[in-house]
Structure 1
């Protein structure tokens, strides 16, 4: 994963450069940027943010819980050790691109307080993912392997759930000590992941306020049986039949 760490570092420096010196990358303070470029940046921001948000939601609250409840613990741990580096790398790249795109669209020097706060939340999401990728995940995986070794010696680890581990740990000080160390590092990793998810959640609220949903519906007008006509007469609208619908979602980022 060394190449991924270097890549993320390069993307992070690029994103920071876009934030504080967008003019270097062609951004104009008067807002007269290329419409095509602006559209592409909005698309990149929307796709990367939604990918990061969806992945975080699935891994944190759905996929991980389902796997833990249905896989033998050692299989679950080994699968997580392969999945989490890829997960944090993907979310980190998406957050970095979202930061760069948002920073280009909202230069720091001319942005309002709301945009600066949102940029801060995106940077925080990226930083928490990077800390997980570089620091907490490698430590968690290493401690997991050590604990698996102790558990295999005690003939446990192929069951689903924590019951046998907790029972054996009461009589095995070595396993109890490893559980404590693993729990501390895993807790920090989980906290960083939750904080990243929370930062993305706050940004989703901002984006929701930037969306405008416009629905245009055409109706077939039927006169009522009593023959009364008139646009303001309720009986005139005895029946509605939708004949067309257009749904627009302008992304006013």
Structure 2
């Protein structure tokens, strides 16, 4: 259902708040919280914390992407879109798809694989080290001795990499949409 006319002030405020909250949450989790936890917590604790936080985080981003797309499409009929509005609509839609894939598939799969890896590492006395470079010989030896562990680790790195890439693309898309909105503001 397309709404006729200019959106009201409340709609504009909600749209900007949802978009900026999503971008801020993504920025915080990606560049601040993730780095601090990575450098300060034991390896398995870090993984456990992320496995508990990320479902909430990724679903919150998904909800924000959905709201942004709904609000934008309600006030921008497809037939009347300018090229820049079409690009913004495409970014909102792409964000929704990527966040859904990340929330419902990549992130949960990454956590499941991680817990299998942690079980094998615990059997060999690994996983209590802080950061990921402190006991690299032990992990390397385990990869060489246990092909199942090596295969799980490669699969984990694949899914984790895809999830991280989705997150960075979403951060860029939301940043681009915020930039576009800033450029069309009549005054600051």
Q: TM-score, normalised by structure 1?
A: 0.69
Q: CA deviation at 1:176?
A: 2.7
> Structure 1 regions of 5+ residues with no counterpart?
1-20, 214-248
In the alignment, structure 1 residue 193 sits paired with structure 2 residue 167: yes
Aligned residue number for residue 180 of structure 2: 206
Deviations along 1:165-197, one digit per CA (max 9) or x if unpaired, are 531233223333322111111001111111111
Name which structure has the greater RCO, CA cutoff 8 Å, separation 6+. Answer: 2
Label 1:91 to 1:85 Cα distance change in 2 as closer, same or farther (>3 A). Answer: same
CA contact (8 A) 1:56 1:197 kept: yes
Label 1:136 to 1:165 Cα distance change in 2 as closer, same or farther (>3 A). Answer: farther
| Partners of 1:132 and 1:165 in 2: CA distance | 30
In the alignment, structure 1 residue 156 sits paired with structure 2 residue 156: no
Q: CA deviation at 1:84?
A: 0.5
Aligned residue number for residue 61 of structure 2: 91
CA contact (8 A) 1:91 1:129 kept: yes
CA contact (8 A) 1:44 1:97 kept: no
Which structure is higher in strand share?
Answer: 1
Decide which structure has the larger Cα Rg and report it. Answer: 1
Aligned residue number for residue 169 of structure 1: 139
Q: CA deviation at 1:95?
A: 1.2
Q: CA deviation at 1:210?
A: 1.4
> Structure 2 regions of 5+ residues with no counterpart?
none
CA contact (8 A) 2:91 2:173 kept: yes
How large is the RMSD of aligned CA atoms in angstroms?
1.5
Aligned residue number for residue 21 of structure 2: 51
Which structure is higher in helix share?
Answer: 2
| Partners of 1:177 and 1:164 in 2: CA distance | 22
Q: TM-score, normalised by structure 2?
A: 0.92
SS in 2 for 1:170: helix
CA contact (8 A) 2:129 2:135 kept: no
CA contact (8 A) 2:99 2:166 kept: yes
2:104 is aligned, of 124, 128, 134, to: 134
